Amino acid sequence: MVKEECRKEKVSFEELRIGSRRGEIPRVRSETAERLIRELGMSLAGVARLLGVATSAISKILQRIAEERWE
């Protein structure tokens, strides 16, 4: 699923994994993290390892998404 999202968004999987914040990478990471958790039921720690960021970063991503939806 992650590599599929990267291909669709024309983003390198390696860039996504090293925690890059260049261009579209943060948006793709956020959308991918949300899908992995909601659709596949992955844990925050598992998604964080897969995407190359800290567990707290995934938690903040989900928090930000929730806040945006309530506005």
- Condensed to tens digits (0 to 9), the pLDDT of residues 32-44 reads 999 999 999 999 9
Whole-structure pTM value: 0.84
Q: Give me the pLDDT at residue 39, please.
A: 94
Q: Give me the pLDDT at residue 45, please.
A: 97
Q: Give me the pLDDT at residue 38, please.
A: 93
| Residues of the chain predicted below pLDDT 70 | none
Three-state secondary structure string covering the chain: CHHHHHHHHCCCHHHHHCCCCCCCHHHHHHHHHHHHHHHHCCCHHHHHHHHCCCHHHHHHHHHHHHHHHHC
